[in-house]
Structure 1
Amino acid sequence: MASETNETREKSLNFLEEIIEESIAGGETRIQTRFPPEPNGYLHIGHAKSICINFGLAKKYGGKCNLRFDDTNPVKEDVEYVDSIKRDIQWLGFQWELERYASDYFDQLYEWAVVLIKKGLAYVDDQTQDEIRENRGTVSVPGTPSPWRDRSVEENLDLFTRMKNGEFPDGAKVLRAKIDMAHPNMLFRDPIMYRIIHAEHHRTGDKWCIYPMYDYAHGQSDSIERITHSICTLEFDVHRPLYDWFIQALDIFPSHQYEFARLNLTYTMMSKRKLLKLVQEGAVMGWDDPRMPTICALRRKGYTPASVRNFAEMVGVAKRDNVIDLGKLEYCVREDLNRVAQRRMAVLNPLKVVITNYEDDKTELFTAINNPEDEAAGTRQVPFSKVIWIERDDFMENPPKKFFRLSPGGEVRLRYSYLIKCEEVVKDEGGNITELRCTYDPMSGGGSSSDGRRVKGVIHWVSAADAVEAEIRLFNPLFTKEDPDDVAEGQTWEDNLNPESMIKITGYLEPSLRDIPVGRAVQFERVGYFCPDTDSTPGHLVFNRTVTLKDSWAKINK
């Protein structure tokens, strides 16, 4: 039995967990990971998976996870992004051990660059970026060595010092590692370590005018923090040999990099550059537009941290890139909201119902359950009056068999309250139904009827006199194709934008919805999950559709 248990446990481990357990079995006494975002944009759902992996592995194995900002390009970075990243990580439910920045290590990185120059493993190159690119060669053609590749150590040290001191303009010189211009891995063909950028850094001000490249700074920053498992997405696997080369050349703490498949979602664009274009061109309302894949957008839309964490666990950790159905993310959101979200009644496609035998000025309060999945959620009082709104789809003039909602001469129960019977259908001159006139059974309140008859249909409603009018935003996928980059000749990915990704309608809500906090999703009974938007004001409520009750759009589009 024990062996079966162990075998089951082994099968449940992902490959990163297997690596860590092998490290522990080999004598590793501490596990240290890090999450290293660039502060040049907002995090998206792919980053959320990486956050869950890095922080989750540290937690599982009793280790620690640092937050380290890769702030090596002052031109693109901003404190706004730093703050948003920290907010997103904490919203997901994680807390870092140490908050660090690559800029914390600029002095050390500079000293190590000097060490490499002295070892003959780095040199100052006067070529332009275009010349360096042209002379790098191709996969099948070796690169051409720089004319300045064989400068003396003394000359390189002098020029590098002068680069640091600001004597040269942007682009005039770079520091390159001296490795192998014929190496099959293109990244080994004398990669750039430092470039000149005369720009103020958000943390170091104007102290530096040379900044390290990612491939030079990343591994050494890991080493300084004594990271045991540097976990990156799969596109960095080709960078790993260079990561190891710098560490070995400097003879410093041997951090090691491991790669997992990045998260790709159907109907979703993850390119930071393309997302920025959507924002700049006004195709969306901003980085936190609920149609965007950013974490701040998911939060605004009403997603819960638990649902995102559950999704990351569901998709798992793979070694090969794949595309995950967006429906899986929405499934996780539904599952969590079904458990935690309170229920409310709202009518989004209203049809007026007048209850003719109900007193004109009378208002009653009925007790409604807040969440049948959670007894502790309690109940609330819902007002009822002579005129109510119901969903237009809950009435059919000529219903088919097994239509258990309202029809002429038919009865239906109003949720939590009375049975009503449709006596008359009122139409306008164009034949459109404008109103139903019904009677109610005064003895049927609370779930029973005067003669003991049973009615199958139960529909939701809102008292017209007490209803809160609100703008309802119905969100659909931002793109019409599973792969937004799948375009016909002469088209661009922007041609795949969904013109119906946001539909605005007016809905009528029960009065308790006026007090729901912004961002907290509730279930509109029989309709879907919705939450108040940040655009809401006391005089104008706005609700976003978080997710439908069922995965209807995916079936339609397929």
Structure 2
Amino acid sequence: MSAGDSSAATATNFIRNIVDADLAAGKHVQRRWSGKPGLAAQQLAGPLDPAKIRTRFPPEPNGYLHFGHAKSICLNFGLARDYAGRCHLRFDDTNPEKEEKEYVDSIVDAVRWLGFSWSDDKENNLYYASDYFDWMFACAEYLIEAGLAYVDSQSADEMRANRGTLTEPGKDSPYRSRSVEENRALFHRMRDGEFPDGAHILRAKIDMASPNINLRDPAIYRIRHATHHNTGDKWCVYPMYTFAHPIEDALENITHSICTLEFEDQRPFYDWLLDHLAEGGLLQRPVPQQIEFSRLNLTYVVLSKRKLIQLVEEKHVSGWDDPRMPTLVGARRRGYTPEGFHLFAERIGVSKADSLIDYVLFEDAMREVLNESAERRVAVLAPLKLIIDNYPAGQSEECVVHNHPFKPELGTRVMPFSRELWIEREDFMEEPSKGYRRLFPGNMARLRHGYVVKCIGCDKDASGNVTAVHCEYLPDTKSGTPGADSVKVKGNLHWVSVEHAYPAEVRLYDRLFASPSPGSGDRNFLDDLNPDSVKLITAQLEPALKAAKPEERFQFERHGYFVADRFDSKDGSPVFNRTVTLKDSWGKGAK
């Protein structure tokens, strides 16, 4: 279950304070665990639960996970890790019409990629809510027998009209007074497929005058004649999410059920349901406790599933794994790191207050991790040929270069040096601007790891465009030799040997949206798409990069952090994606 250093000091927050208080009070020490989910009788026959706490990450498998899910994953798995507990991965697959195996597989991969596990040599806590349908049906039957649920035969429009408003109480359904026997019979006939979709619905019997609309006899079971990805055609009645979710938590012995703030109004029903089912002996006490925290809101990002689907279906992006998408499959392809997500989640913390997090904080977390881990390489993104006129034609020599300036243990590599080099086009100006320190006629600069050169002119084409720069080198000034400091220069240039470099496709990714609040006000969020969110170029790379493996990350010196694309890179021919620039280029409101 480990991810990151669990011994590192962890900032406290209100959720950890709750957990600390529960542990200090011994709230959960008498819980029993049979080794798998089940009703109270099964659990009580088992030994004491070895896990001090149990949390869960319960995605519905109807889409790809995004940055907001990463925050929840780090929170739930991190709590279980830090408190000697267990975190379950549960697929909340109670809706047969929206869920697909493709999404199940992608979610498993994403959680693993982030560095977390739901299993060890003692437990495997990967679960499907659909495996609990028999128990959920039994819980619904208990509520009917206890007079706490009834079958309503109103139409959806009638139910809506009778529900009331925030200021007006609802009205009792004319079917609310059905007898236990009639409700039981109707519910079984619903299960047996005798009625079409929408003909009846099972509702909890609570209080139609409650100021909390969620307690006005909420629906708990509906008819859906649809094939389920896991249970096939066994069922044609399915539990509503608000009914299924608390039962799932209880069946799995979850102690702290952590969810986002939009479920806060549902907590009274969560508690009502579990208390009644525990009172009836179906569920073990203490029942799970629901705790809400604010969801992730990032500038320059949309996390709405509807909007993400629109981006994909209308082909504004290449797919769910487009490196500009805020999905975890996109993040992985972009070159973002699991460690960067952990650091970001730790820094933003958890709270009850909704807030908008600046995307710079996310990028800074990624930069910090990549700066530590990524080996350095040289790539020339806008190549201009530099010719050293007094260097022998056909000759080459080796320059020894450190792979990481702060990690000598990562060793060195060799960069070949020759008469003709590629340099960045911005490193030469025929008529230099004030303060310009790189190459211009008459000026000297150092070729990093190589020699000091003096610019003597340039070649141009018929349109006046510079096609090559001419220099002369000072033979006694090679880096690492006694004469290296004999000539003082202010400019320091990156380069690759024309003879030894190889051209490669490089994708310069940037933020997908140009506005910090896409679609705010009355704007269509698509109007805020950044037209420069990706640029495809052919760059000249140092020969060592030819051996880069898919998902291998590097800092291209001066340019930023790049990753070999996990799908398009081939042996000996990697394609690189820019993960993030070396510094924030949006800090002043412009790229």
TM-score normalised according to structure 2 size: 0.89
| Equivalent residue number for residue 339 of structure 1 | 372
Q: Mark the runs of 5 or more structure 2 residues left unpaired by the alignment.
A: 1-8, 30-51, 120-124
Q: Could you report, residue by residue, the CA deviation over 1:106-139 in whole angstroms, capped at 9, with x for unpaired residues?
A: 1100001000011111111222333322332210
Matched, 1:138 2:165: yes
| Equivalent residue number for residue 461 of structure 1 | 495
Query: Which of the residues 139, 157, 179 maps onto 2:206?
Result: 179
Q: Distance in 1 between matches of 2:361 and 2:367?
A: 10
Paired residues in the alignment total 547
Q: Is the 8 A contact 1:266 1:325 kept in 2?
A: yes
Q: Distance in 2 between matches of 1:450 and 1:468?
A: 29
Q: Is the 8 A contact 2:547 2:572 kept in 1?
A: no
3-state SS of the aligned residue for 1:57? helix
Q: Distance in 1 between matches of 2:271 and 2:225?
A: 30
Query: Which of the residues 221, 225, 230 maps onto 2:257?
Result: 230
| Equivalent residue number for residue 6 of structure 1 | none
| Equivalent residue number for residue 405 of structure 1 | 438
| Equivalent residue number for residue 220 of structure 1 | 247
3-state SS of the aligned residue for 2:356? strand
| Equivalent residue number for residue 507 of structure 1 | 539
**Amino acid across the alignment from 2:167:** S
| Equivalent residue number for residue 52 of structure 1 | 74
3-state SS of the aligned residue for 1:103? helix
Q: Is the 8 A contact 2:547 2:571 kept in 1?
A: no
Matched, 1:529 2:561: yes
Deviates more, 1:266-275 or 1:151-160: 151-160
How far does residue 539 in structure 1 lie from its aligned partner after superposition? 8.1
Q: Is the 8 A contact 1:340 1:374 kept in 2?
A: no
| Equivalent residue number for residue 96 of structure 2 | 74
- After superposition, residues 122-271 of structure 1 pair within 5 angstroms as 122-251=149-278, 252=283, 253=285, 254-271=287-304
**Amino acid across the alignment from 1:466:** H
Q: Is the 8 A contact 1:109 1:217 kept in 2?
A: yes
Q: Distance in 2 between matches of 1:513 and 1:131?
A: 67
- After superposition, residues 408-487 of structure 1 pair within 5 angstroms as 408-448=441-481, 449=483, 452-487=486-521
Q: Distance in 1 between matches of 2:539 and 2:484?
A: 33
Deviates more, 1:463-472 or 1:448-457: 448-457
How far does residue 143 in structure 1 lie from its aligned partner after superposition? 1.9
Matched, 1:39 2:61: yes
Q: Mark the runs of 5 or more structure 1 residues left unpaired by the alignment.
A: 1-8
> For residues 450 and 220 of structure 1, do their structure 2 counterparts lie closer, same or farther at Cα, with a shift above 3 Å needed?
closer
How far does residue 538 in structure 1 lie from its aligned partner after superposition? 5.3
How far does residue 450 in structure 1 lie from its aligned partner after superposition? 7.4
How far does residue 12 in structure 1 lie from its aligned partner after superposition? 4.5
How far does residue 157 in structure 1 lie from its aligned partner after superposition? 0.8
Q: Is the 8 A contact 1:178 1:190 kept in 2?
A: yes
Q: Distance in 1 between matches of 2:499 and 2:197?
A: 68
| Equivalent residue number for residue 5 of structure 1 | none
Q: Distance in 1 between matches of 2:230 and 2:507?
A: 40
Q: Is the 8 A contact 1:176 1:191 kept in 2?
A: yes
- After superposition, residues 373-412 of structure 1 pair within 5 angstroms as 373-412=406-445
Q: Could you report, residue by residue, the CA deviation over 1:44-71 in whole angstroms, capped at 9, with x for unpaired residues?
A: 1111111111111111111111111111
3-state SS of the aligned residue for 2:503? strand
Deviates more, 1:101-110 or 1:381-390: 381-390
Q: Distance in 1 between matches of 2:508 and 2:335?
A: 13
**Amino acid across the alignment from 2:172:** P
How far does residue 364 in structure 1 lie from its aligned partner after superposition? 2.1
| Equivalent residue number for residue 92 of structure 1 | 114
Q: Distance in 2 between matches of 1:446 and 1:329?
A: 37
Query: Which of the residues 294, 297, 305 maps onto 2:327?
Result: 294
Q: Is the 8 A contact 1:471 1:540 kept in 2?
A: no
| Equivalent residue number for residue 360 of structure 2 | 327
| Equivalent residue number for residue 49 of structure 2 | none
> For residues 450 and 232 of structure 1, do their structure 2 counterparts lie closer, same or farther at Cα, with a shift above 3 Å needed?
closer
Q: Distance in 1 between matches of 2:138 and 2:420?
A: 78
Matched, 1:112 2:139: yes
Q: Could you report, residue by residue, the CA deviation over 1:16-55 in whole angstroms, capped at 9, with x for unpaired residues?
A: 1111110011113321111111111111111111111111
The percentage of aligned residue pairs carrying the same residue is 55
Q: Is the 8 A contact 2:549 2:571 kept in 1?
A: no
3-state SS of the aligned residue for 2:177? coil
Matched, 1:17 2:16: yes
Q: Distance in 2 between matches of 1:539 and 1:125?
A: 66
**Amino acid across the alignment from 1:379:** T
